[in-house]
Amino acid sequence: MNIFFAEKDVAQLVQIANMITLGKSNIDSFIPTLAWARRQVQSEHSTLDLATVIIIDEVRSDVASHMVRHTAYHPSHYVQSKRPDWTGVPRPSDPAAKRLYMSRWPVKSLLAMARQRLCMNAMKETRIWVASVKSAMLKSNDVLMKAIGEGMVSICQYRGKCPFGKKGCGRYETTK
Model pTM score: 0.89
- Residues 78-134: pLDDT tens digits? 999 888 898 888 888 888 889 999 999 999 999 999 999 999 989 999 999 999 999
In this prediction, residue 160 carries a pLDDT of 84
- Residues 25-80: pLDDT tens digits? 777 778 999 999 999 999 999 999 999 999 999 999 999 999 999 999 999 999 99
Q: How confident is the model at residue 170 (pLDDT cuts 50, 70, 90)?
A: low
Query: 154 Cβ partners below 8 Å, 6+ apart?
Result: 114, 115, 118, 119, 120
Reduced to 3 states (helix: H, G, I; strand: E, B; else coil), residue 137 is: helix
How far apart are alpha carbons 144 and 138 in whole angstroms? Answer: 10
Determine the distance from the C-alpha atom of residue 87 to the mean position of all C-alpha atoms in its chain, rounded to a whole number: 30
Fold of 2-167: Gyrase A; domain 2 (3.30.1360)
Domain ranges for the chain: 2-167
